[in-house]
Amino acid sequence: MRRLLLLAPLLLFTVGCGVVQSSEGEATDAAREVARKAGERLYGQRPRTAEEVGRSASGIDGVEVLRVTGTSTHDGDGVEVIVRTSGSAYNEWFDPEEVVVQRCFAVRVSPKSEWREEPRDVDCPHGPPLTFDPPPAPPRLPYEELRAKLPQVPKGGRVDEAEVRRTLAALDLDPAIHTETKADGGRVGVLLSVKGNHFDAQDCLLARVSPGATEVWVPPRIQRMPGEGGCTIGNALDPQPSPH
């Protein structure tokens, strides 16, 4: 009889041929799932620096970034981020209250990473979570200034590309703004753009100086997505049709 009483607690944890996981184990699994989802959010082929990856990870709910190693996602083994996450579980049969744990995991971000790659269990580094400065704001593209300063050529007149170039130089643009002009068919196209990240819509400004009309515009967002060709000098000279 005494042996049966001793075995009873063990039987309560047994289901079929397996063993019911403790609440602490379930809470750890929940914390691991948060880290796994963070890895999904960070996954991608776009090149990023270690700082960019760390900043992105620190902005994910429920994630604290404790360490970032590596230089960029496309160098060597990529970037490894050690994150701290929390998980909880409650079993009304065995736990007087909810069990909450904090665990640390290593998440790898690299083109070689697999989708939903399992984060590695690691010891939590000492020290507070890392903080990251916000990314620098891109320079403002001078829509109003460009519209006011570009030459207005009357019908039957001739557009001078050199004059257009001098106008752009006089705007004293931020060095991060790329400028390009091209003459074609008596017109001059103008492109002002900021380097994109090959993932989000690029910032750009287009203009076309023609006899009788000077136009300045921002292409629709869908045209400014990578691969769509909206931020090109060709689109300034011969604009793509507006999306419906």
Whether residue 53 is contained in a domain is answered as yes
Whether pLDDT at 213 is above 80: yes
Whether pLDDT at 122 is above 80: yes
Query: CA-CA distance, 209 to 237, in Å (whole number)?
Result: 9
Whether pLDDT at 16 is above 60: no
User: Which residue's structure tokens are 């609440």?
Assistant: 23
The mean pLDDT value for 150-171 works out to: 95
Spatial strand order of the sheet with 64-69 comes to 64-69, 79-89, 99-109, 120-122
Amino acid 213 reads A
Spatial CA neighbour of 230 closest among 206, 194, 199: 206
225 burial (CB, 10 Å; 0-12 / 13-18 / 19+) is: middle
Query: CA-CA distance, 52 to 46, in Å (whole number)?
Result: 11
CA angle 197, 236, 169 (to 5 degrees): 80
Whether residue 194 is contained in a domain is answered as yes
73: domain range? Answer: 22-122
Whether pLDDT at 4 is above 80: no
Query: CA-CA distance, 213 to 5, in Å (whole number)?
Result: 95
99 and 147 together in one domain: no
The mean pLDDT value for 68-82 works out to: 96
Whether pLDDT at 124 is above 90: yes
Q: Answer with the residue of higher pLDDT: 4 or 37.
A: 37
Give yes or no for a contact between 135 and 149, defined as CB atoms under 8 angstroms apart.
no
Query: CA-CA distance, 208 to 119, in Å (whole number)?
Result: 52
91 and 47 together in one domain: yes
114 and 37 together in one domain: yes
CA angle 236, 242, 244 (to 5 degrees): 165
Amino acid 88 reads S
Whether residue 4 is contained in a domain is answered as no
* Consecutive H or E run containing 148: helix 143-149
CA 91 to the chain's CA centroid: 39
Considering its fold, how many domains does the chain have in total?
A: 2
Query: CA-CA distance, 242 to 157, in Å (whole number)?
Result: 29
- Domain boundary pick from 122, 153, 174: 122
Whether residue 30 is contained in a domain is answered as yes
Whether pLDDT at 26 is above 60: yes
CA distance to 130, 151, 154, 229, per residue, from 189 (Å): 46, 12, 17, 15
Whether pLDDT at 93 is above 80: no
pLDDT at 65: 98
111 and 191 together in one domain: no
209 and 170 together in one domain: yes
147 and 75 together in one domain: no
The mean pLDDT value for 178-186 works out to: 96
How many angstroms separate the first and last alpha carbons of the chain?
Answer: 80
Query: CA-CA distance, 195 to 226, in Å (whole number)?
Result: 11
